[in-house]
Chain A
Amino acid sequence: MSEWPLWEVFVRPRRGLGHAHVGSLHAPDAEMALRNARDLYTRRQEGVSIWVVPAGSITASSPEEKDSFFDPAGDKVYRHPTFYTLPPEVDHL
């Protein structure tokens, strides 16, 4: 029913963290999308910064490519930094 374009909303919960996707909404333009995002996604102090991105501008990986995209990483445990011996004084790395 809506003729307004779809926008994806990203909210930064607090300083120091990255913006995370929280949902989407309809709005006639970017400025109104930002206001709508404020009303829909940050009413309970969820964020300190909002990004809105036209949904059409997002290039997404497709489910059919899942095997070639993600499976090859499955057996390459050496990509995880778990093979180093840490000096005992380094506690919280």
Chain B
Amino acid sequence: MIGSSRADEPGTSEEGSATLSTSPVAAYALALGDDALILGQRLIEWVTHAPELEEEVALANISLDLLGQARTLLTYAGSFDGRDEDALAYRRAPEQFRCVHLVERPNGDFGATVARQLLFSAYQFELYDALTASADPTLAGLAGKAVKEVAYHRDHASLWTLRLGDGTKVSRGRMQDGLAAMWPYADELFAPDPATAGLVGLGAAVDPAALRPAWTRYVESVLAEATLTVPQMTPAPGGGRSGIHTPEFGALLEEMTSLHLEHPGAQW
């Protein structure tokens, strides 16, 4: 049920504000939170469209895990300048989002979605695993809880990669095509983010480049077992952490924010 809208909703004065908090911790939480939020939104698009009812529930569960992570991270990011999670999720312009391009990519077919899940969850697993040792107690706490969820996401994606890759000729082709569609966007996951680089030395954030060797080992071992080829492709330019997004991002954001725009302050 949608609650009544409130004309005097707090926080609306920030609407359209071009300024984001200058705290590096807030920027870091915002970037990680946006990754989780936008991938969660992409995955929920599968609901009512998944190949099987059981798989639909699996994807929706993963989406809800990501939404939970996003809520914690956005609430934390907003706490630095007095904005709540809804203000950050629903009342920012596209260029104020800090998510990487991989999470914005359209779902494509099931093979492409599985490929994106494999690449992203393998990255997010290493990220949260390292972040459990963060000097920032909120980030460390979130990571400790989320790493268990993401271990399952990674397991889910790996099992499907094996089955599609080492399956029929059609499933193998689709899985390989899906990898090709997502692979160029993996590079950005490990690119340095100038806004938060200072946090690495303080032990609060994780250097993304340091996650790459373990990620490569994991992903390549799954692809080898699935009899798939590791794509050799030129990386996409990236820029998500600076607010540059892919053309499909606008439509995603429009759908995600439509209910909130129509019923400001709506609550379940």
Q: Which A residues are within 8 Å of any B CB, using their own CB?
A: 2, 4, 25-29, 31-32, 35-36, 39-40, 43
A selection of 28 A-B contacts at a CB cut-off of 8 Å is A2-B52, A4-B52, A4-B54, A25-B54, A26-B52, A26-B53, A26-B54, A27-B54, A28-B163, A29-B163, A31-B159, A32-B159, A32-B163, A35-B58, A35-B155, A35-B156, A35-B159, A36-B54, A36-B55, A36-B57, A36-B58, A39-B54, A39-B57, A39-B58, A39-B61, A40-B54, A40-B57, A43-B61
Looking at chain A's contact residues, the main secondary structure is mixed
Q: Which of B143-168 contact A (CB under 8 A)?
A: 155-156, 159, 163
Counting chain A CB atoms within 10 Å of each CB, which of B54, B57, B156 scores highest? B54
| Chain B residues whose C-beta falls within 8 Å of the C-beta of A29 in the assembled complex | 163
Task: State how many angstroms separate the Cβ of A48 from the closest Cβ of chain B.
Answer: 15
Q: In the bound complex, how far is the Cα of B53 from the Cα of A26, in angstroms?
A: 8
| Chain A residues whose C-beta falls within 8 Å of the C-beta of B54 in the assembled complex | 4, 25-27, 36, 39-40
Task: State how many angstroms separate the Cβ of B96 from the closest Cβ of chain A.
Answer: 34
| Chain A residues whose C-beta falls within 8 Å of the C-beta of B61 in the assembled complex | 39, 43
Q: A32-B163, A40-B54, A40-B57 are in contact. List 19 more A-B contacts (CB 8 A).
A: A2-B52, A4-B52, A26-B52, A26-B53, A27-B54, A28-B163, A29-B163, A32-B159, A35-B58, A35-B155, A35-B156, A36-B54, A36-B55, A36-B57, A36-B58, A39-B54, A39-B57, A39-B61, A43-B61
Q: In the bound complex, how far is the Cα of B61 from the Cα of A35, in angstroms?
A: 12
Q: In the bound complex, how far is the Cα of B54 from the Cα of A25, in angstroms?
A: 7
Number of interface residues of B (CB under 8 A): 11
| Chain B residues whose C-beta falls within 8 Å of the C-beta of A28 in the assembled complex | 163
Task: State how many angstroms separate the Cβ of B17 from the closest Cβ of chain A.
Answer: 38
Q: In the bound complex, how far is the Cα of B57 from the Cα of A28, in angstroms?
A: 15
Q: Please, which residue of chain A has its CB at the minimum distance from the CB of B59?
A: A39
| Chain A residues whose C-beta falls within 8 Å of the C-beta of B156 in the assembled complex | 35
Q: In the bound complex, how far is the Cα of B156 from the Cα of A25, in angstroms?
A: 17
| Chain A residues whose C-beta falls within 8 Å of the C-beta of B55 in the assembled complex | 36
Q: In the bound complex, how far is the Cα of B55 from the Cα of A43, in angstroms?
A: 14
Which 3 residue pairs spanning A and B have beta carbons closest together? A36-B54, A39-B58, A39-B61
Q: In the bound complex, how far is the Cα of B52 from the Cα of A28, in angstroms?
A: 10
| Chain A residues whose C-beta falls within 8 Å of the C-beta of B163 in the assembled complex | 28-29, 32
Counting chain B CB atoms within 10 Å of each CB, which of A2, A26, A27, A28 scores highest? A28
Q: Which of B116-168 contact A (CB under 8 A)?
A: 155-156, 159, 163
| Chain B residues whose C-beta falls within 8 Å of the C-beta of A25 in the assembled complex | 54
Q: In the bound complex, how far is the Cα of B53 from the Cα of A39, in angstroms?
A: 11
Q: In the bound complex, how far is the Cα of B58 from the Cα of A2, in angstroms?
A: 17
Q: Please, which residue of chain A has its CB at the minimum distance from the CB of B61?
A: A39
Q: In the bound complex, how far is the Cα of B53 from the Cα of A35, in angstroms?
A: 13
Q: Please, which residue of chain A has its CB at the minimum distance from the CB of B162?
A: A31
| Chain B residues whose C-beta falls within 8 Å of the C-beta of A40 in the assembled complex | 54, 57
Q: Please, which residue of chain B has its CB at the minimum distance from the CB of A32?
A: B159
Q: Please, which residue of chain B has its CB at the minimum distance from the CB of A7?
A: B54
Task: State how many angstroms separate the Cβ of A22 from the closest Cβ of chain B.
Answer: 14
